[in-house]
Each structure stands twice: as C-alpha cells, then as structure tokens.
Structure 1
Amino acid sequence: MNHPLDEHTWHRMTEEILAGMREWRQAHPKATLREIEDELDTRWARVRARMLEDMALASAAANWAATAEGQQPTCPDCGQPLRLRGTDTRTLQTHGGQSLNLARSYGTCPACGTGLFPPR
C-alpha cells in the first residue's frame, strides 16, 4: 500500500478544471450563477475525491503489517491490540457524491471478535 501523494495528478486535474470551465462557460453564455456554481462544484468534487483517496491511502493505517509490537491499532470496544487479518477494499462516498476506493489493512480483535478497518 504506502500510496504516494500524487500532486502531479492533482495539478493536472486542476488545470483540466480551469480549461473545462472556460469551455463550458463559452458553451453556456446564459448560465445562471447557480448553474455555474453547480458545474464548478461537480468538477472540484472529482479533484477533492482523488486528494482524499491519496491522503487516506498514504496514512499508516492503510498498511500496519510492519507496525511495532504494542503500537498496533486497538479494538474500540475492549482495547485489545487488533490482529492483522489481511487487506480489504472499502468503497466510500464523499460529500460531493464521488466514490473512494480504500485498500487498507483489516484487523480482528482476539478478545471480542470485532473486525474493523482502523481509522488512523
């Protein structure tokens, strides 16, 4: 996992928004302020989702297989260190309606059986 932050892609996506909004505005000269705002928000939501996904996957929680003894994530119910059970992918929705796919370590509590993707 150890996903790098892909700032080059973020910049490219931002440049695409700038060019795309210029083209969109020329094609929609009578657009209302609300229509312009909605179009811009839709385009920014894609960049925001990519940044969120990259940042989440870059966190230590994405892959804690090499985490030192005593520093593993703990069960929120009973406080026991989780046992690594492998990786799994979760698909989440952002506030802007975009999907994020997060491949992360998955743990199980040896005491109570709770399984989870650690949040940190």
Structure 2
Amino acid sequence: MQCEEWLSKSEKILTDVKEWRKAHPKATFVEIEDEVHRRMMQLEAQLLQDAAQESSSRAWGKDMGEEAPRCSRCQVPLQARGQHARTVQGNGGESVTLLRTYGTCPHCGESFFPPR
C-alpha cells in the first residue's frame, strides 16, 4: 500500500469515528474506546498484510531462486505448487489475506503453506 493510500485509509477511520461519535452522543468512555479499537484493528490488519507481503520468503521455488523449505515431518525439500491465497486471523480478530507459495512433500504427500 502506498503512503497516499495509508493516509486516505487513516483519514477515513478518523472520519468514521467522528461520525460514530455524533450518532452516539451519550456513549461512555469505554464504548468510545471499543469503537476506536475496532476501527484501528482494520488498519492494523492492513499493516500486517502489507508487511507480510513484502517478505522475500513469501515466494520460493526453483523459478524464484529461493531454497525450498523442508517438510516438518520428513525433512525433505518441498515442491512448489504455485501461489495461493491464505486467510489468517490476526490477534485483533481481523482477517488478513496473504499470497504465499504452497508446497507439497514429494515423500509423504503432505501439502501446506510453509511458516516462513
């Protein structure tokens, strides 16, 4: 995500919180805090996704010149099976979608996203 996109997303969150506050003039401090936290988790999820996608280890295989990770069971190098999307849930409860190389063990046949 480019800097301008981050600024735009941050401004939208600030605007949304202000609008929420106008719609909830009698909200308690804890309710306001919960709403701010909920919206900030969206920004956190985007930051996590962007940072993870910048990782050089997200793609591996002979075409990428990166050494293949090994199967945790057999310790045999995995065979790359292309890029696949994987959605995980962050600590804040927001979903984060990552594009990662999926691998299969040629020995035991187990397939998974290596935890790099």
TM-score normalised to structure 1 length:
0.80
Give the SS at the match of 1:74: coil
Match of 1:13 in 2: 9
- Please point out which of 38, 49, 52 is paired with 2:48: 52
Relative to structure 1, the CA distance from residue 60 to residue 118 in structure 2 (aligned partners, 3 Å threshold; closer, same or farther) is: farther
* In 2, Cα distance between equivalents of 1:112 and 1:7: 44
Aligned length: 114
* In 1, Cα distance between equivalents of 2:3 and 2:58: 19
Q: Conserved in 2, the CA contact under 8 Å of 1:10 and 1:51?
A: no
* In 1, Cα distance between equivalents of 2:50 and 2:40: 15
Q: Could you say what the CA RMSD is over the residues aligned between the two structures, in angstroms?
A: 1.8
- Please point out which of 58, 63, 73 is paired with 1:62: 58
Which AA in structure 2 matches 1:37? Answer: E
Q: How far apart are 1:53 and its partner, in Å?
A: 1.2
* In 2, Cα distance between equivalents of 1:79 and 1:114: 12
Which AA in structure 2 matches 1:103? Answer: L
Q: How far apart are 1:54 and its partner, in Å?
A: 1.3
* In 2, Cα distance between equivalents of 1:115 and 1:7: 36
1:109 correspondence with 2:99: no
Structure 1 residues not aligned, in runs of 5+: none
* In 2, Cα distance between equivalents of 1:101 and 1:19: 25
1:34 correspondence with 2:30: yes
Which AA in structure 1 matches 2:81? Answer: R
Which AA in structure 2 matches 1:67? Answer: G
* In 2, Cα distance between equivalents of 1:73 and 1:96: 29
TM-score normalised to structure 2 length:
0.83
Which AA in structure 1 matches 2:68? Answer: Q
